Structure 1
Amino acid sequence: MRDEVPRTVTAICSSLQEQIGHGLLQPGGQLPSERKLSELFATTRITLREALGQLESLGMIYREDRRGWFVSPPRVLYNPLVRSHFHAMVGDQGRLPATEVLSARLQPATADICSRLELAALSSVIQIRRARRIDGRLVLYVEHYLNPVYFPGILDYDLTRSLTELYASEYGIHYGRVRFDMVPTALHAEAAATLRTAPGSPALRITRLNRDQHERIIDCDMEYWRHDAIHVCVEVPE
């Protein structure tokens, strides 16, 4: 009996992988309910969820709270060496980008943000929180922290557009040097709720510290990507 559960999990994983591989389960398509899948494979919900969890960790399927399980679409390619922005990067790959503003306000800067942006103690910072979609799927939760000295009145603009383009068109500011930090992480509660998944779900956190053409530190972005939505691909020129 102890060997039965691993064999069942393996069989479920193999069956669903085969269906996905042959295109019978389409990217973005919804799987049958857990009840129906349990009946199909003649197993318990616990065993089924173990199999689904393994496929999720491989990036083949994903779960949305109160909606169910879905086949993961192809990952978007992300090259940090290419100067671009979310809408251009996604659109150039034939995908449909969208951005939703969750909140935008001037607030006290945390000690961490003061350190990153080289602000004095008890400084204010502009925080913009956004959710981003690819082909309608929520894939990215991002927090932007802007030095308000460089962006007066920015909260009055349409913040669903590219900040890169907004900086250039309205403030004459262009990105210069950028520092990237990428680490696997677990989604905190706010990010998980935005992406409609469970807190603690695997993610890739990309933190960008941005300087402008005058070498001034202007902002910091903290991106939380669903782990199955992104493929970091870097080609270093000779």
Structure 2
Amino acid sequence: MIRLILKIIYNFYMNRFVSDFFGSKYSKRVLISYITKPFRINSKSHTNSYEVVSAAKIFHDLGYQVDIMFYENASPNLEKYDVIYGFGDVFKKYFESGFTDKITIYYGAGMHIAHQNTATLNRVKSVYEKKHVWLGKSSRFVEKNWSHQTTLVDAIIALGDQECKKTYRRYYEGPIYSLPAPFYKTLDAIKVANARNSESKKASYGLGALVLFTKG
């Protein structure tokens, strides 16, 4: 119970609204709807921290005052913003608000949600056909499709390759810009691969000797 209460308090603190992060006081304003934790603590637990902070810096460099909200929280007054960027409930609010003068940009980290959901449910079905048990809770199904943000926006930024981009084109006729997914380089991939190959060879030699011994 105590852990649950502490988790609620922690999430409440981390997900609070961030106002004018850079203290710029620019006249133009952008609202980023994403995650707010990276603006409170420096973390490399996930690349989404790098992604949202990079977006904020870009808008700041373009002369925008940057506000950030947690994507599931209640949206602020949208009248004061020139640009709405990111994903989440804020897009539905905007397109139902009656405003017409805001620039809207959806940021999609991966393929279209409809594509992802269909793929994961087909996998659930495949497992059922083989094992005769439904494991729907094990799937990564996204309940909120937020269709406003992938249909009505001015532009889409899709994090992925051209195949990823195609999943959005099925539902959207506007400009789509694909970006390669970032990563944190913590180890040298070539050194890791060479080390694994070396260990595999040693294991093979040891196994061979063991087989010869047991046969002999």
TM-score range, shorter chain: under 0.3
Between structure 1 and structure 2, the one with the greater Rg is 2
More helix as a share of residues = 2
More strand as a share of residues = 1
Highest RCO, 1 vs 2 (Cα 8 Å, sep ≥ 6): 1
Query: What's the TM-score once normalised by structure 2's chain length?
Result: 0.25
